[in-house]
Amino acid sequence: MKRRHFFGTAAALAVAAATTGAVQAQDKTYTIGVSIPSATHGFMGGLNWHAQETIKRLEGTYPNVKFVLATAGEPGKQVDDIEDMLATRNIDGLVVLPFESEPLTGPVKAVKDAGKWVTVVDRGLAIEGVEDLYVAGDNTAFGRVAGEYFKANLKSGAKVVILRGIPTTLDNERVDAFEKAIEGSGIEILDKQHGNWNRDDAFTVMQDYLSKYPQIDAVWAADDDMAIGVQEAIAQAGRTDQMWIIGGAGMKQIVKQIMDKNPQFPVDVTYPPALISAAIEMTTLRFVSDTPVYGRFIIGSTLITPENAERFYFPDSPF
Amino acid sequence: MRNLSLSTLGPLAALILLIVLGAFLNANFLSAGNITNVLARSAFIGMIAVGMTFVITSGGIDLSVGSMAAFIAGMMILAMNAMIPALGIGLPLVLAGMGVAILVGLAAGFANGFLITKVGIEPFIVTLGTMGIFRSLVTWIANGGTLSLDFEARQFYRPVYYDGIFGIAWPIIVFAIVAVLGEVVMRHTRFGRYTEAIGSNDKVARYSVVKVERIRLLTYVFLGLLVGLATILYVPRLGSASGSTGLLWELEAIAAVIIGGTALKGGSGRVWGTVVGVLILSLIDNILNLADLVSPYLNGAIQGVIIVLAVVLQRGKSTAEGR
């Protein structure tokens, strides 16, 4: 599992702050709080797993670093978690994936104002300049990379359908980037309904697409959980050889099908749940070394193809 | 159907309106494929809602059914995967899996019913508690991810959702049987009459030597059984279960029961109305997907309006009639 979380292509580290970590005495112990949403769907399940694995490994590597992991099912609980960490666990640093930007901004800023290191993951805060380090996937690239694949592999006049996630700005960014990428290709988007990043919902929406449209050449499922539901609906309609599906994230079942060269899943677009590992690892480096880790680290979205799929296949992960 | 008034026909009228609207909006709406899809999709919520009709009629409520379905699905998948070496892939494995689902369903329903009737805690609180417990348990056994049935076993089990006899899919057949049995039990058996009596006035029922606690307990066990049955048909569809399986099914089931004319305060149950309610809910989704009527952001609003309208149609007279 060494450093697999650094596979981003567009990794960019920009210097934002001028303070460098002073040389740390080896015998001093540090506590890092990690606050993430609980495993409510596949992607978050993967993220939780990677967070636990990373913490386990880092605690073995650095005996003087302790971690406090808290998972929250809703923003209110996450605020409580963070306040508790600051008040009772005496954390030196916080790694947080905010459930929602607005409600978490205040509490995270309070941690920063108390002089602690703050790493924000994936979902930015409502105001700028709070976090020392920002680690995130690239939603625009996620939509663009998928769109470019559609443009390169479909003829003008081809018909596609889109499944959208839960209505959020993140989902809008992805869909806008996808639509921008296929602009001028003559590909027609027949429909885009919300499948809520959920297998069952995606199954239902795809069944209805199949009833509605006699010709569909490709599906942008935009999420691997949804891709599974879509695949099953297409199989039920007996139209498996008429269209291919592009999911997203890098779920092991989908990566496996790409490795096995299933024509239904030619490629996948990454949005790795292991991005939390990058955030925890870099935050830990801040305390155990002089490595400068402040700034922004954007993990690129890249294509998983049959040639490189091996690198993205984690059979032990639940996702 | 003893009193054919506007109140009983309200939900039916709403259903017919929706069907006409659907047919008008999209030519494929009445195709065999689409009708099968809609009915098969309704089957899970439908079977659960039939059981929920009894619970609500007796004056109770069960918020845990969605989580319970996820938990049963998880246990069923775990059990089947574990039994593959012993039983091999074939009919015995599927039957054993079904047995596990039914047993877990009965046990879960019994747990709810026991806490409500013997320990004497409010149904709302008990099932709110078990809702959280079941959902956490399935997330925990799935390690936060998705439990998937072994691929070969899945292929063998798959026809239970997708195939059928005489071109009618199994979920539809089972749903129909459950609905007819539910109606018969509600209307023509002592259990059904007692359920209504307890929901109307449990003190009077008690003075009339009705074993109130036992009947209440039975309604929850019966619901658990039906959740198990629904899960048996759900698992072959996608072959997986996760923390997001069956999310909000409890609210859909309760909404279907109320749309169908069962009183939320208990005392009056209409199983056939519940079936109509379930179909209304599925059709709204289906029509919104088939026709680009409104922005998908507004789907929830449209559903809400139709649910309230269906109940308004049905309540128009029943408040005047009194009970």
Concatenate the DSSP letters of all residues of B148-173 into one string: E--HHHHHHHTHHHH-EETTEEHHHH
Percent of chain A with pLDDT over 90: 59
Residue A25 has pLDDT above 60, yes or no: no
ipTM surpassing 0.85, yes or no? no
Structure confidence at residue A28 as a pLDDT band (50, 70, 90): confident
Residue A8: which pLDDT band, with cuts at 50, 70 and 90? very low
Residue B169: strand pairing partners: B164
Contact assignment for B299 to A194 by CB distance below 8 Å: yes
- Least confident range from A2-11, A205-214, A249-258: namely A2-11
Phi then psi for B220, rounded to 5 degrees?
-70, -35
Instruction: Please report the pLDDT score of residue B212 as a whole number.
Output: 92
Inter-residue contact A94 to A32 (CB < 8 Å) = yes
Residues of B in contact with A164 (CB under 8 A): 296
State the average pLDDT over residues A197-223.
93
Q: CATH number of the domain at B6-316, please?
A: 1.10.3470
Cβ distance A40 to B285 less than 8 Å, yes or no, reads no
In the predicted model, what is the mean pLDDT of residues B91-109? 96
* Domain pair A4-137+273-300 / A139-269, same fold: yes
Please report residues of A whose CB lies closer than 8 A to that of B28: 211-212
Per-residue pLDDT at A164 exceeds 70:
yes
Q: Please, are residues B36 and B164 in contact by the beta-carbon 8 Å criterion?
A: no
Q: pLDDT class for A87, splitting at 50, 70, 90?
A: confident
**Mean pLDDT throughout B4-10?**
65
Fold for domain A139-269?
A: Rossmann fold (3.40.50)
- Which of A66-70, B101-105, B283-287 is modeled with the greatest confidence? B101-105
Q: Which residues in chain B are closer than 8 Å to A48, comparing Cβ atoms?
A: 144
Where in chain A are the domains?
A: 4-137+273-300, 139-269
pLDDT confidence of residue A277? 94
Q: Tokens 């990690």 sit at which residue?
A: A34
Average pLDDT score, chain B? 89
Model pLDDT, residue A4: 43
Top-confidence residue, A230 or B2: A230
Please report, to the nearest 10 degrees, the dihedral formed by the alpha carbons of residues B277, B282, B288, B294 taken in order: 40
Is A120 or A39 the better-scoring residue by pLDDT?
Answer: A120
At B127, the pLDDT band (50, 70, 90 cuts) reads very high
Distance from CA of B34 to the nearest CA of A (A): 6
Distance in angstroms (rounded) separating the CA atoms of residues A129 and A105: 11
Task: Report the residue from A38, A208, A317 with minimal CB separation from B289.
Answer: A208
Question: Over 70: is that where the pLDDT of B5 sits?
Answer: no
pLDDT exceeds 50 at position A16: no
Q: How far apart are CA A194 and CA A178, in angstroms?
A: 15
Mean pLDDT of B70-78: 95
Task: For residue A299, give the nearest of A269, A278, A282 by alpha carbon.
Answer: A278
Q: Give the A-side interface with B, CB within 8 Å.
A: 38-42, 44-46, 48-49, 164, 167, 191-194, 198-200, 203-205, 207-212, 225, 228-229, 232, 236-237, 253, 317-319
Place of tokens 């649910």: B307
Taking contacts as CB-CB distances below 8 angstroms, the residues of chain A near B144 are 38-39, 44-46, 48-49, 318
Two structure tokens written together for B227:
């959740």
What CATH topology corresponds to A4-137+273-300?
Rossmann fold (3.40.50)
Q: Residue B134 pLDDT > 90, yes or no? A: yes
Task: Return the minimum-mean-pLDDT range out of A5-19, A44-58, A165-179, B264-278.
Answer: A5-19
Confidence of residue B305 (pLDDT cuts 50, 70, 90): confident
